[in-house]
């Protein structure tokens, strides 16, 4: 299968800053300016519509500096002005607010789940333009990569966005080496060792960023969800796969070998009859994964027609006491793990995502168990909250992985880099 015509021209190499050798700058000047553009663009993303005066106040730069930056952003087509609210016009000079121009750039987001893959096209403001979902066929990594790339190409052709496509954010469960772009560990053996990033780059002709789905979701939450403005939080994902993402001091923390947040085999002080794929019987994964939870429910007498956690929660709601007990126990095991994480990282917020959100009535059991497990976070129950994004946000969250690189240094890429060079 050949690379789609024009794809590499439309894409931007995320790894190569496009600073012009003809315009040398002092290291400090460049770093400061990069930071200023990044902070202003990100403030418009999270707080827009916002006026220049309010941006200046929020980021601590002079109104003149903000006007200059916003003018460049307008020229590059990355932001646009919107109608000021009526109270803004009443007080003399209107404070014309700006927002991210969603047509400025777009990215692809790919989430590789257990049986299905979602591919979405995401605009510069992090919103989904269009999405497609495919069922994974076979277990050959080459075949799965080809199938995914074909779906992505079809989506790009169907939507044909106006601005350039910046790159592809891809997320998958398990342990991902973000530097090498390789899946190191996964509950499905065929993904172990898969060079997913290079495979997709080759097929799509676009730069690809690969990371775990929990980290992708944490990023989206920090931009547009329940963790907006929060500097330190943990995102815990409980579903077919179990994992977490650590957001420390305003950034996703990958760890020395991309393994940070691997909570799946943390002991939760329970001995199950099932052996985990890690070899143990007391770990979080084997205690609370969807598969184990359903098996336990069936063994305890819940009908085998109940095949998902959503079904199980509905059965419990309909009066099935056994289903309710299984879900309550699951929530408590997660509480054990969350209490330990609270001690380890002292977060401001702990967000829960995945199938654990089916049956929110057990959240109090989880909170109570976390509170009785922790030694240093007596208020842990108050900081445990459900994610605002469901499973349907996973392709969008994957796209956020690329947008995050972009927002960190928008000057390194056209069209902003081009506008700045012309001005110099």
Q: Is 342 in the site for Zn ion (CB under 5 A)?
A: no
Is 10 a binding residue for Zn ion by CB under 5 A? The answer is: no
What three-state secondary structure class fits 253?
strand
**Phi then psi dihedrals of residue 90, to 5 deg:** -70, -25
Give the SS3 label for residue 313: helix
Position among 285, 330, 332, 367 found at the interface with Zn ion (CB under 5 A)? 285
- Give the DSSP H or E segment for 58: helix 52-59
Angle between helices 63-75 and 27-47 (to 10 degrees): 80
Q: Which one of 268-276, 299-307, 333-341, 363-371 is the stretch in contact with Zn ion (CB under 5 A)?
A: 268-276
Choice from 168, 216, 276, 334 touching Zn ion (CB under 5 A): 276
Residue (243 or 359) nearer to Zn ion, CB: 243
Instruction: Specify the residue, 248 or 262, whose C-beta has the smaller distance to Zn ion.
Output: 262
Using the contact rule CB under 5 A, the part of the chain among 30-38, 249-257, 284-292, 397-405 near Zn ion is: 284-292
Q: Contact with Zn ion (CB under 5 A): which of 78, 194, 216, 283?
A: 283
Among candidates 221, 258, 249, which has minimal Cα distance to 354?
A: 221
By CB under 5 A, residue 269 contacts Zn ion: no
| Complex with Zn ion: residue 278 or 360, whichever CB lies closer | 278
What are the two backbone dihedrals, phi and then psi, of residue 21, each rounded to the nearest 5 degrees?
A: -65, -20
- 278 binds Zn ion per the rule CB under 5 A: yes
Q: Is 190 or 265 the residue whose CB approaches Zn ion more closely?
A: 265
114 CB contacts (<8 Å, ≥6 apart)? 173, 187, 188, 240, 241
Question: Taking CB under 5 A as the rule, does residue 265 contact Zn ion?
Answer: yes
Q: Which two tokens stand for residue 190?
A: 């065929």
Shortest Cβ 272–Zn ion spacing (Å): 10
How crowded is the C-beta side of 105, counted as CA atoms within 13 Å? 28
Contacts with Zn ion: how many residues (CB under 5 A)? Answer: 5
Q: Tell me how far, at minimum, the Cβ of 265 lies from Zn ion, in Å.
A: 4
Rounded distance, CA 421 to CA 413, Å?
Answer: 11
CB of 141 to Zn ion, least distance (A): 24
Instruction: Assign residue 205 a region (left: φ > 0; alpha: ψ between -120 and 50; beta: otherwise).
Output: left
Binding site for Zn ion (CB under 5 A): 265, 276, 278, 283, 285
């Amino acid at each position: 299968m050949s690379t789609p015509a024009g794809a590499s021209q439309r894409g931007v190499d995320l790894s190569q800053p496009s600073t012009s050798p003809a315009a040398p700058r002092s290291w400090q000047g460049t770093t400061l300016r990069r930071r200023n553009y990044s902070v202003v663009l990100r403030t418009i993303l999270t707080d827009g519509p916002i006026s220049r005066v309010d941006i200046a106040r929020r980021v601590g730069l002079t109104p003149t500096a903000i006007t200059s930056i916003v003018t460049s952003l307008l020229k590059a087509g990355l932001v646009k002005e919107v109608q000021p609210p009526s109270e803004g016009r009443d007080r003399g000079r209107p404070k014309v607010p700006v927002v991210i121009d969603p047509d400025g750039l777009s990215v692809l987001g790919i989430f590789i789940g257990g049986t299905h893959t979602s591919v979405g096209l995401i605009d510069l403001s992090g919103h989904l333009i269009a999405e497609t979902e495919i069922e994974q066929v076979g277990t050959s990594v080459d075949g799965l990569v080809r199938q995914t790339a074909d779906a992505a190409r079809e989506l790009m052709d169907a939507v044909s966005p106006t601005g350039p496509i910046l790159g592809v954010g891809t997320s998958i469960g398990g342990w991902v080496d973000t530097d090498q772009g390789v899946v190191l560990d996964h509950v499905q053996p065929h993904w172990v060792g898969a060079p997913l990033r290079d495979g997709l780059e080759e097929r799509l002709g676009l730069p690809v960023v690969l990371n775990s789905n929990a980290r992708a979701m944490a990023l989206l939450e920090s931009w547009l969800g329940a963790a907006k403005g929060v500097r330190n939080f943990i995102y815990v994902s409980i579903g077919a796969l179990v994992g977490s993402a650590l957001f420390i001091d305003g950034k996703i923390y990958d760890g020395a070998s991309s393994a940070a947040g691997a909570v799946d085999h943390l002991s939760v002080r329970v001995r199950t009859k099932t052996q985990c794929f890690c070899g143990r019987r007391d770990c979080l994964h084997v205690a609370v994964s969807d598969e184990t939870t359903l098996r336990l429910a069936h063994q305890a007498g819940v009908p085998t027609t109940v095949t998902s956690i959503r079904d199980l929660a509905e059965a419990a709601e309909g009066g099935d006491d056994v289903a309710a007990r299984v879900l309550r126990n699951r929530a408590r095991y997660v509480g054990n793990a969350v209490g330990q994480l609270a001690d380890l990282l002292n977060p401001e917020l702990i967000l829960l995502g995945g199938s654990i959100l089916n049956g929110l009535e057990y959240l109090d059991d989880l909170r109570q168990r976390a509170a009785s497990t922790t030694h240093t976070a007596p208020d842990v129950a108050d900081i445990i909250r459900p994610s605002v994004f469901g499973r349907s946000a996973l392709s969008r969250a994957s796209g956020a992985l690329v947008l995050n690189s972009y927002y960190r240094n928008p000057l390194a890429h056209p069209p902003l880099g081009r506008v700045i060079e012309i001005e110099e």
